[in-house]
Amino acid sequence: MENIIDNRNIYNLNNNINTLNNDKLILHDENSSLLIIVIDLQQLIQFDSDNDITTIMKNIIIFINAHIAYSSSNKVCCIINDDKHGVQYLYPNEDEDDDEDQENQSILNEDMYQGFKKVDESILRKLEKIVAEHKKEASEAKNTSNSKKKRSSLAGVISCGLTYIHRILKASISIRARMLVITGETLNSNIIQSHQYIPIMNCIFTAMKLKCPIDVLKINDINLNSDSTKSNSFLQQATDATSGIYLEINTTNGMIQYLTTIFYLNTLITSTTIDNKLKINNSVDKLEIEITNNGDDNADEGEEVLVTSHNDILLKPTTSQVDFRTSCFLTGKTVAIGFVCNVCLVVLSYIPTSLKDCPCCGSKFDIKTLKKLKYWQLQQSSTNKRGFIKKIAKTNNPNGKNGTAAGSSASKPIEL
Amino acid sequence: MSDNIKIELSDDEDIILSNKNQKKHKIAAIDDEEESDRVLSKSEKLKNLSKQVDEERKLQMDSENNVKKENDETKINIKRERSGSDNSNLSDVSSDEDEDLELKNAIKKRKLDEKEAAKKAELDAKKKKDEEDEKNKQQSGYSWEDKIQRPWDIVGTTPNEDAQDQQLLNKILHTRNQKQAVNTTPLQRGIIRSMIIIIDMSQTMAEKDYRPSRFQNVLNNTIQFIQEFFNMNPISQLGVVSLKDGLAQVISPLNGSPKFHVDALLQLKHERVEPRGFASLQNGLELARGMLMGVSTHCTKEVVLLYGSLSSTDPGNIMDTVTVLKEQEVRVAIIGLVAQVNICEKISRITNMSDNSYYNVAMNEQHFSELLMERIKPLPLAEGSEFTLIKMGFPTRIIESTPSFCSCHSKLNRGGYYCPSCNSKVCNLPIECPSCELMLILSTHLARSYHHLIPLKNYQEVPVEEIEKGLIPKYASCFSCKRDFPLLKRSKSNSLLSTMRYRCVDCEKDFCMECDDLIHGLLHNCPGCESKVVL
């Protein structure tokens, strides 16, 4: 905060939004950012040769270098998840004494900038090992043709990333963190996603608390029909809740373009406050950073050009609709009006006539209220005038058998 | 001194717990004023524990010498005397709980101590005794019983650096153990809650033993509590009531928006409302009962009373109110600020199915906020409580090109949610639809509460032996954040104090202390277990 106020004195912008150049001056101060790149290798490694992991990694490496190049205090962390090792950090290195790979030095140009080289080498070396292992295994596995279903470990790797962010945020004050999840989808994927709802939700809440936006880049395999692709609704919700960007691409050709235009710029803008006079709506926690005008006379003029969010400067790719709906426990249909068990919070779209206890947790329901709801359901199906049902019910039976919830509880103490 | 014995006595926590339960039953069954009974149960406890001590001693006696044994026995005697005199104290019940915390803390310390003792012999034992005496002085709960604390003197002046390390570690472990004490067995909990917070604003609250004053401290903590409460229980409701001049007044009525309550409390702060007059428990409880009358049956009805007075000026018999509260299943939790008051204990016991743990007396500011934050977790459902299905609407979010009025605040805005049953627009969720009274929520709100239902298992500390035996590498890093585990060594003996690693029981990955805190406090899923590919 102090830093911002200092900048204010130095770069007194004449309330001019268009001078984005001036912002860069501020950015070069201690506004460093931490970029966590989560690569869902579990999915990406199954890609075919056109789109395979090496082309993807080439692009990611450039992106990482660009991030490091922007400011000397920027930090990078790259984590992957794969079938064999589970979660693995590609950078920072967990075991520095990797002397056995000395001969591998040649993968990178000797003259490369040391800052890039350190990061890139570590990532590439480890990745090479993993890919080699995987290829070996895949060739062996082809003979046995196993189609075993596997659990996706994406939630685990995101959790790891969040703990890392927590660690870094604790260590330094001015740093901001963000996470880029790169995942994919192949044609015959044998990876189950459905169990991930609760863990990913938990990750979202944590990211909100840490004020860390989550961006998602999903790469669809070429073989995949455009109709059959399903957007990953969990990750979509994650980006929506943390005000990140969700993007799906169908080819890795020119992937660097996407990365630099969409995700790279987002880093700059979300990770900086442009000017203290501009009110940045950091919608991660709906916290509006308002800096009181230190007796500045121009304050009134300054407030005229409030930027409510970074959307006003750059248009983010918006996802048309985020799927927030829940699905019914029994039928799997999406629910608009549902019934929720007050013990386990399971959602039902309708009440089966034979229902007596919760299908999920088994707790026995109160018969009276169940009757009431069933009655409501009956009426609902018979009438189409949705909004008036309640009123009709009320006038028909003023004694409260099917009245409002409030009425029934008020009468309850007297029964006792 | 007493600490030392408690350590030995408590090596098996189960016994203590069962003892505590026995005690609870006894207190529930017989009138609590029968002090003699408590003395009995206490001496039983001591007997049990001393037996256990003996058994344990036999096992470990090989390495330890007889001098130590004698020492211990004398200590037990002293403890007996102490406990005898303690029983006459008023605040005994509440201090029992504190004791339990201390006991758990002491377990770890004891384990460490014993290892040490095995290596160093009698000389060290004597030294330790002195140190622990010092520690006892420092750890004796209530802030007004403390010596004047001069933290700047502690640095560098303690003769034995081992003791310093030990103290530091004990402090860390102590806070950890408090967290560990949280039960992780999944329970059926009332997720949809309605809670009334009653704040004492009588003249006693102007006292300055809590900084800056009792009242201000309570107010600040309550604001914090409200925000955290709605974070964890998004589909719940809350109300605030004040006790002042013998009257109970509504500060903010039952409502589901945190901002509403925080604003009301900040208003009090702004107006510099001073605590005045006497507090009336009965008026407060009656008002809370009235506010909770309209709540539907699937909600829990809870009252949290922050009480700084030692008396109550009531218009009638308070026990009548209490019986009505019990009938209506209103559960009252009380946090005292000063000392234990019998009527408060009775109220909370009767309304909570003779469970004693809902009346606590805070020892200091820190303890008070801890006690208050405990109330964030939803209560386990009472036996025989009703399970129902609740009708709820899951609206979709819509962004409009032309602004329209919302039905909740009558404000123009460009987007919002449409109630699926009556099509009226609301701007924020969760809310009860203003026109058709349908509860409107997002699925994310339900997801917020899942971790109450499926709590994450606690991690277990990895014992030092595993490193000493070479089962795990000495230098390693945390599974999830790759921080290197610190090596805490005693400066003289160079032996490890603690591994500082915490292991998940299921995936057997080791985590550092800070990750453990984050994972159990915020994240609620284990990175190790989630990254397993095959179950």
A202, A241, A409 member nearest B295 (Cβ) = A409
Which pLDDT tens digit goes with each residue over A51-92? 678 888 888 999 999 888 887 888 899 998 887 777 888 888
How far is it, in rounded angstroms, from Cα B279 to Cα B274?
14
Give every CB contact of residue B524 below 8 A, 6+ residues apart in sequence: A202, B451, B455, B456
Q: Which chain A residues are Cβ-neighbours of B447 within 8 angstroms? A: 197-198, 201-202, 205
- Decide if A180 contacts A217 (C-beta within 8 A): yes
Which pLDDT tens digit goes with each residue over A104-125? 555 667 778 888 888 888 888 8
In this model, does residue A185 exceed pLDDT 60?
A: yes
- Cα dist. B104→B14, B91, B101, B179 in Å? 11, 20, 5, 11
Instruction: Identify any residues that bridge with B249 across adjacent strands, giving them in sequence order.
Output: B242
The confidence score (pLDDT) of residue A283 equals 35
The confidence score (pLDDT) of residue B163 equals 65
How far is it, in rounded angstroms, from Cα B17 to Cα B6?
14
The confidence score (pLDDT) of residue B265 equals 93
Which of A5, A124, A10 has its CA nearest to residue A57? A124
How far is it, in rounded angstroms, from Cα B97 to Cα B83?
14
Per-residue pLDDT tens listing for chain B (535 residues): 444 444 443 444 444 444 444 444 444 444 444 444 444 455 555 556 555 555 555 555 544 444 444 444 444 444 444 444 444 444 444 445 555 555 556 566 665 655 555 555 455 555 555 555 555 544 555 656 666 665 555 555 445 666 666 676 677 666 666 665 555 566 667 778 899 999 999 999 998 888 888 999 999 999 999 998 988 888 888 999 999 999 999 999 988 888 889 999 999 999 988 898 999 999 999 999 999 988 877 788 999 999 999 989 999 999 999 999 999 989 999 999 988 999 999 999 999 888 888 999 998 888 999 899 989 888 887 666 667 788 888 887 777 778 888 888 888 887 788 888 888 888 887 888 888 888 888 888 888 888 887 888 888 888 888 888 878 888 888 888 888 888 777 766 777 777 788 888 888 888 988 888 889 888 888 988 888 877 6
Q: How many Cα atoms occupy the beta-carbon half-sphere of B458 within 13 Å?
A: 13
CB pairs under 8 A between A and B: 226
How far is it, in rounded angstroms, from Cα B69 to Cα B65?
7
The confidence score (pLDDT) of residue A367 equals 81
A345 and B191 in contact by Cβ < 8 A?
Answer: yes
The residue in chain A having the minimum alpha-carbon distance to the alpha carbon of residue B384 is A364
Which helix H or strand E contains A197, and what residues bound it? helix A197-210
How far is it, in rounded angstroms, from Cα A202 to Cα A159?
9
Q: Which chain A residues are Cβ-neighbours of B381 within 8 angstroms? A: 343
Q: Which two tokens stand for residue B366?
A: 């820190």
The confidence score (pLDDT) of residue A416 equals 26
Strand blocks (E) in B62-208: 193-200
Mean per-residue pLDDT, A380-399: 50
The confidence score (pLDDT) of residue A313 equals 56
B531 and A412 in contact by Cβ < 8 A?
Answer: no
Q: Which amino acid is at B299?
A: C
Maximum alpha-carbon separation in chain A: 86
What domains are defined for chain A? 32-271 (3.40.50.410), 326-365 (no CATH), 378-416 (no CATH)
How far is it, in rounded angstroms, from Cα B238 to Cα B194?
6
The confidence score (pLDDT) of residue B12 equals 44
A407 — contact with chain B (CB < 8 Å)? no
Mean per-residue pLDDT, A41-49: 79
Q: Which one is predicted more confidently, A96 or B387?
A: B387
A162, A339, A386 member nearest B523 (Cβ) = A162
ipTM exceeding the 0.90 mark? no
The confidence score (pLDDT) of residue B208 equals 87
Q: Which chain A residues are Cβ-neighbours of B435 within 8 angstroms? A: 387
Q: Which two tokens stand for residue B442?
A: 């997002």
Q: Which two tokens stand for residue A311?
A: 């959307």
Q: How many Cα atoms occupy the beta-carbon half-sphere of B20 within 13 Å?
A: 19
B533 and A86 in contact by Cβ < 8 A?
Answer: yes
- Decide if B229 contacts B194 (C-beta within 8 A): no
Angle between helices A197-210 and A233-242 (to 10 degrees): 10
The domain covering B460-530 belongs, at the CATH homologous superfamily level, to Zinc/RING finger domain, C3HC4 (zinc finger) (3.30.40.10)
Which of B225, B110, B79 has its CA nearest to residue B177? B110
Angle (nearest 5°) at CA B72 between B71 and B73: 95
Which of B75, B14, B82 has its CA nearest to residue B42? B82
A73 to chain B, minimum CA–CA distance in Å? Answer: 20
A338 — contact with chain B (CB < 8 Å)? yes
Say yes or no: do domains B193-374 and B460-530 share a fold: no
Phi-psi region for residue A246, left (φ > 0), alpha (ψ -120 to 50) or beta? beta
Residues in chain A, how many? 416
Q: Which two tokens stand for residue B12?
A: 């098996």
Q: Which chain A residues are Cβ-neighbours of B301 within 8 angstroms? A: none
**Domain extents in chain B:** 2-180, 193-374, 395-440, 460-530
The confidence score (pLDDT) of residue B378 equals 86
The confidence score (pLDDT) of residue B410 equals 87
Q: What is the residue whose two structure tokens read 């006497």?
A: B278
Give CATH for domain B193-374: 3.40.50.410
A409 and B519 in contact by Cβ < 8 A?
Answer: no
The confidence score (pLDDT) of residue B126 equals 52
Which pLDDT tens digit goes with each residue over A303-354? 333 444 444 455 666 655 666 667 777 777 777 888 888 777 888 888 887 7
The confidence score (pLDDT) of residue B29 equals 42
In this model, does residue A22 exceed pLDDT 80?
A: no
The confidence score (pLDDT) of residue A193 equals 77
The confidence score (pLDDT) of residue B143 equals 59
Radius of gyration of chain A (CA): 27
